[in-house]
Amino acid sequence: MIARTQKFLGYICLTISFSLLLCAATSSRWDRIPEKDHARVNPLAAHSEAVAAGALIYRDHCAQCHRSDASGDGHKKPALRSERIRSATDGDIEWFLRQGDLRHGMPSWSNLPEAKRWQLVAYLRSIQ
């Protein structure tokens, strides 16, 4: 029985170790955006309500880390009024929101419908 329990705990340790190794093996997300995503344009950019809707999504999901004025915390949660955002394409930002950067603390927002991610992109563009 003890041997079976030890074997079981061994499997758990192996699983956790494997997960940690995979986490350590990845690098910056912005450098890896596929070309087809990079080239995408915001299909809701011309929608008059997109910025207002994006502002609400930002308030609900983003402000708690990046602050309500998008100034960030000066540490791990970067400001979103930045050259990085200004120079990114719509597709880059949507891709980043969808993928997140789990290793560096940015969750994936793939659970938001794609339309809402584009509304958020419109809002982020509007505050630059």
**Residues lying near another protein in the complex (CB under 8 A):** 1, 5, 8, 12, 15-16, 18-19, 22-23, 26, 49-50, 52-54, 56-57, 60-61, 64-65, 73-76, 98-108, 110-111, 113-116, 119
What is the end-to-end Cα distance of the chain in Å, rounded?
A: 63
Phi, psi dihedral angles at 28 (to 5 degrees): -55, 135
Nearer to another protein, 81 or 103 (CB): 103
Which is nearer to another protein, 54 or 91 (by Cβ)?
54
**CB 84, min distance to another protein, A:** 19
Phi and psi at residue 102, to the nearest 5°: -60, -35
- Chain center to CA of 112: 11
Q: What's the min distance (Å) between Cβ of 6 and another protein?
A: 12
Which is closer to another protein, CB of 9 or CB of 41? 9
Minimum Å gap between C-beta 126 and another protein is 13
CB of 45 to another protein, least distance (A): 14
**101: three-class secondary structure by DSSP:** strand
Question: How many residues are given for the chain?
Answer: 128
C-alpha to C-alpha distance for 49 and 51, rounded to whole angstroms:
6
Q: Which of 39, 56 has the CB closer to another protein?
A: 56
Angle, vertex CA 14, rays to CA 9 and CA 15, nearest 5: 95
